[in-house]
Amino acid sequence: MSVKKIKIIIISFIGKWIIQILFYLNKIVINGEEHLLKLINSGRPIMVCVWHGRLLFPSWYIRLKTTNIHAIASRHTDAEIMARILNKWGYGLIRGSTRKGGKAVVQKMVEVFKNSGIVAVTNDGPKGPPRIAKAGSTGLALKYNVQIITITGSATKYWQMKSWDRFMLPKPFGKIQLIVSPPLDITEELKKPKEEVQLLSDFMNHYQDEADRLTGKIN
């Protein structure tokens, strides 16, 4: 086993416990949970769209409500650490991205959807630009009758990384606001990728801005 792999294993093990402790040491308010529970109880497949910079909030939360959950994780080193944490939390992993191994990723997503599962997608990953969704999600949702929601969060006390996504890590002894959106209303296929990008980005940013407003965060 290489030194690099050993480091990843150690960091992911420690990281998992640090994250869980940080969430435990915050007061957590969940807004809109009924939307997720209603969809789970209906047996409809769900795509949870999240921003890369707020990945921790939905990742920590969804696993508490269902075990039928998968997440897309690319294969670069940074993603490997988070992938291992997600796997320890009970997530199935779909390895790859829309740019690398895209066809295989979509095929695996379809398998999960056909079993009424949930797939979490970082729509601005793996490398941005931040808070701008990539095309493809709404077309897939329409084709396979999948419900799209977004789950996001914000914290009153936090560290914010100087990475492209401005990754947020909550500090202890604050308040975390989690938001679960109602399903995105998609009535017909959007013919132009630009239209889909705008629709999904606006939808996700609306709830992200609301989470930030609830915690008093100023962008």
Residue boundaries of the structural domains of the chain = 3-215
Whole-structure pTM value: 0.93
Residue 219 has pLDDT above 60, yes or no: no
pLDDT band at 126 (very low <50, low <70, confident <90, very high): confident
What pLDDT does 196 receive?
A: 82
CA distance 99 to 105: 10
What pLDDT does 4 receive?
A: 85
Residue 102 has pLDDT above 80, yes or no: no
Q: Which CATH architecture has domain 3-215?
A: 3-Layer(aba) Sandwich (3.40)
pLDDT band at 202 (very low <50, low <70, confident <90, very high): very high
CA distance 57 to 180: 11
pLDDT band at 78 (very low <50, low <70, confident <90, very high): confident
Mean pLDDT of 173-186: 95
Backbone dihedral region for residue 53 (phi beyond 0: left; psi -120 to 50: alpha; all else: beta)? alpha
- State the CB neighbour count (10 A cutoff) for residue 136: 17
Mean pLDDT of 30-37: 98
What pLDDT does 127 receive?
A: 84
Strands 168-170 and 158-160: antiparallel
CA distance 68 to 112: 8
Query: SS3 of 165, please?
Result: coil
Residue 155 has pLDDT above 90, yes or no: yes
Mean pLDDT of 30-34: 98
Residue type at 126 in one-letter notation: P
What pLDDT does 76 receive?
A: 76
What pLDDT does 100 receive?
A: 59
Residue 41 has pLDDT above 60, yes or no: yes
In this structure, the dihedral spanned by the alpha carbons of residues 36, 39, 40 and 46, taken in order and rounded to 10 degrees, is: -90
Task: Tell me the residue length of the chain.
Answer: 219
Residue 107 sits at φ, ψ, to 5 deg, of: -60, -40
User: 139 or 110: which carries more pLDDT confidence?
Assistant: 110
Residue 190 has pLDDT above 80, yes or no: no
Residue 47 has pLDDT above 70, yes or no: yes
